[in-house]
């Protein structure tokens, strides 16, 4: 049921999302040039009606037809929706377009399937062109007489229902349903599939609508993220929150805060209460936006505010939502303790990734994950968190594995040739259904997730992570990284003639510090002969091959600096990081190394500085 609702919602939003630019253009023209706008202009304001009543429904219908029937379906949808537009001339037919577009796509797809084995040779172009024309005309007529008037009636009923809620002060209660639905990845469906059509109708007559503000307000999510940033006891969560705040508040990708709610479900109370207060404030002050704020960035939200005090009221509502959400979320985060659900899930995901994400035989044509050539980051709509995650991972991977292509898409459109699909936990079932042959990497957070670190490690080294024993569920605690990298494990101004010499020094350092048995040094050199551990940008990460229990005493990492460089094939490594990994405990430090790779200034200084404490601070 959950998957079906998510897929339905995704279809609604998928018809609108690619056309958001057109909605924004219409919103700006409305905000600027109507009589009550910032720059009233009678001539330019004449574009508002045609864009709203004709352009936007046609674009939405085209996209809906294309989803279900390809390019031919898109053309059919555009033809058919004109009948709906003419059949209900007094209403913007966005909802009618959401019905007519997919219907047209399905009709032409079924026709094409029927004609596959019946198409006479030499008549392809004639039949293909006339089929769209004739079937499109028929659907346009049906839309004119039936679907247009029917959708107009539904729109009137929905709008009247909203008016009743507003009149009786009940609209703020909508947040009780909006916020949990958002966390279940129905945010785009709610905003663009339901609220936008109603808001657009209201904005046409009133010049603004509060309905644009119900889901897109970035305040509720901001409050949750700030609470985690200030009070979380989990270092991973605390460190990832500032980046999530920027992406959520400025970038408008609300999906970035959903995992923080899912980690500790009771915290959903915070954005609910925050949004209730904001909607109540907007209702009392009569505040509304002139067009859809998408993505839900503070920039987009404020840019659609009305002239004059509307901007101030809009900002105050965001501040109220963020403040109330923060006040409610803070004690919940504080009281979670070291064994909070957030910490348990983070550690559980790490162990799960180690047990499932090492060397995995798949049916996608790759025998190990290191053989992958296409990695797909997938979220609900394919335009928000997945795009951000793919960009971040692509930049992280480009030096070590430039042969791997990393893209993003919606979870229901993962390509068949995908080798590895990276998806959030709640979307795994849909990903498996869409791409049953690809390997699924399940994550909770696109910013800081152990599963992504594990995936990067194997793709970069081609080697297994060493997992020793199991951890009982009730013993799960926040990870302890003390002793994995110490100042005694940092060696500056080293010299080595060959990579074998450098690896020997790294292995000896691990042995001297009590991390491994002496035999591990030989295993590190053997591992290098199989596949180079040179990562690019002057960095090598040697480690041992799979070995017997007991050779690694405890997890440890050493950092050796070679300012003159050590030849690793055709390249030179100025930093050699030796690893003795047990149970994946060293992934926190490796994640820091990957982060350092993104900043050339830090990496270059690390290759030359004699300040061991500074190096330790960068990797701790």
CA atoms 580, 585, 588, 594: torsion sign: positive
Contact yes or no for 551/519 (Cβ under 8 A): yes
Distances (CA, A) of 26 to 18, 82, 117, 149, 200: 15, 19, 45, 25, 10
Please enumerate in sequence order all residues whose Cβ is within 8 A of that of 331, keeping only pairs 6 or more positions apart, or say none: none
State the DSSP string of 531-587: S--EEETTEE--B--S--TTSB-S-EEEEEEEEEEEEETTEEEEEEEEEE-STTTTH
3-state secondary structure of 316: helix
C-alpha angle 338-221-480 in degrees, rounded to nearest 5: 20
Burial of 129 per CB tally in 10 Å (0-12, 13-18, 19+): exposed
State the DSSP string of 235-272: HHHHHHHHHHHHHHHTT--GGGGHHHHHHSGGGGHHHH
What is the spatial distance between Cα 85 and Cα 143, in angstroms, rounded to a whole number? 8
Nearest Cα to 229, choosing from 214, 216, 248?
248
Distances (CA, A) of 380 to 8, 198, 239, 345, 413: 11, 23, 25, 21, 10
Bond into 295 cis (ω within 30): yes
Tokens 């039936």 locate to 146
State the DSSP string of 366-422: -SSGGG--EEEEEESSSSSHHHHHHHHHHHHHTTT-TT-EEEEEEGGG--TT-SEEE
Instruction: List residues with catalytic annotation.
Output: 379, 543
Token output for 71: 């390019």
3-state secondary structure of 116: coil
Nearest Cα to 333, choosing from 345, 346, 342?
342
What is the spatial distance between Cα 251 and Cα 227, in angstroms, rounded to a whole number? 19
């Amino acid at each position: 049921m959950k998957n079906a609702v998510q897929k339905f919602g995704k279809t609604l939003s998928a018809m609108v999302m690619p056309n958001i630019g057109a909605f924004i253009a219409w919103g700006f023209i409305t905000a600027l040039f109507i009589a009550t706008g910032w720059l009233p202009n009678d001539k330019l304001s004449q574009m508002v009606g045609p864009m709203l009543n004709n352009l936007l429904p046609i674009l939405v219908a085209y996209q809906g037809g294309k989803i279900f029937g390809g390019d031919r379906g898109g053309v059919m949808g555009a033809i058919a929706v004109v009948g709906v537009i003419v059949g209900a001339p007094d209403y913007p037919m966005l909802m009618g377009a959401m019905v007519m577009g997919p219907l047209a796509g399905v009709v032409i797809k079924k026709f094409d399937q029927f004609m596959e084995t019946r198409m006479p040779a030499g008549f392809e172009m004639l039949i293909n062109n006339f089929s769209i024309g004739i079937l499109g005309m028929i659907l346009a007529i049906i839309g004119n007489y039936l679907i247009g008037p029917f959708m107009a009636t539904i729109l009137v009923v929905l709008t009247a229902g909203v008016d009743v809620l507003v009149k009786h002060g009940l609209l703020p209660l909508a947040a009780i349903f909006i916020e949990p639905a958002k966390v279940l990845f129905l945010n785009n469906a709610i905003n663009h599939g339901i609220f936008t059509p109603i808001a657009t109708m209201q904005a046409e007559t009133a010049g603004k609508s509060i309905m644009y503000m119900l889901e897109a307000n970035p305040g509720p999510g901001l409050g949750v993220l700030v609470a985690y940033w200030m009070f979380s006891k989990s270092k991973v969560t605390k460190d990832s929150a500032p980046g999530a705040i920027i992406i959520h508040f400025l970038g408008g990708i609300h999906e970035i805060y959903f995992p923080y709610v899912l980690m500790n479900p009771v915290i959903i109370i915070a954005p609910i209460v925050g949004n209730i207060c904001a909607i109540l404030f907007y209702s009392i002050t009569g505040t509304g936006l002139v067009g859809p704020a998408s993505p839900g960035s503070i920039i987009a939200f404020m840019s659609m505010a009305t002239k004059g005090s509307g901007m101030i009221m809009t900002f105050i509502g965001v501040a109220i939502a963020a403040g109330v959400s923060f006040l409610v979320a803070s004690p919940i985060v504080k009281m979670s303790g070291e064994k909070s659900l957030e910490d348990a899930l983070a550690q559980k995901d790490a162990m799960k990734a180690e047990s499932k994400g090492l060397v995995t035989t798949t049916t996608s044509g790759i025998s190990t994950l290191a053989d992958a050539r296409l990695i797909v980051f997938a979220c609900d709509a394919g335009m928000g968190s997945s795009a951000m995650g793919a960009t971040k991972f692509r930049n992280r991977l480009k030096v070590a594995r430039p042969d791997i292509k990393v893209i993003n898409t919606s979870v229901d459109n993962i390509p068949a040739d995908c080798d590895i699909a990276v998806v959030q936990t709640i979307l795994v079932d849909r990903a498996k259904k869409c791409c049953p042959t690809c390997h699924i990497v399940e994550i909770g957070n696109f910013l800081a997730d152990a599963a992504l670190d594990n995936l990067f490690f194997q793709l970069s080294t081609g080697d297994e992570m060493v997992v020793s024993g199991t951890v009982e569920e009730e013993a799960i605690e926040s990870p302890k990284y003390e002793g994995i990298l110490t100042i005694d494990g940092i060696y500056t101004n080293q010299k080595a003639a060959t990579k074998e010499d450098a690896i020997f020094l790294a292995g000896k350092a691990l042995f001297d510090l009590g991390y491994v048995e002496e035999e591990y040094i030989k295993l590190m050199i053997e591992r290098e002969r199989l596949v180079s551990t040179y990562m690019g940008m002057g960095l090598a990460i040697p480690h041992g091959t799979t070995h017997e229990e007991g050779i690694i005493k405890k997890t440890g990492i050493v950092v050796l600096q070679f300012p003159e460089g050590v030849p690793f094939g055709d390249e030179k490594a100025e930093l050699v990081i030796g690893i003795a990994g047990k149970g994946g405990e060293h992934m926190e430090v490796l994640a820091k190394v990957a982060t350092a790779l993104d900043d050339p200034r830090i990496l270059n200084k690390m290759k030359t500085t004699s300040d061991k404490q500074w190096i330790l601070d960068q990797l701790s």
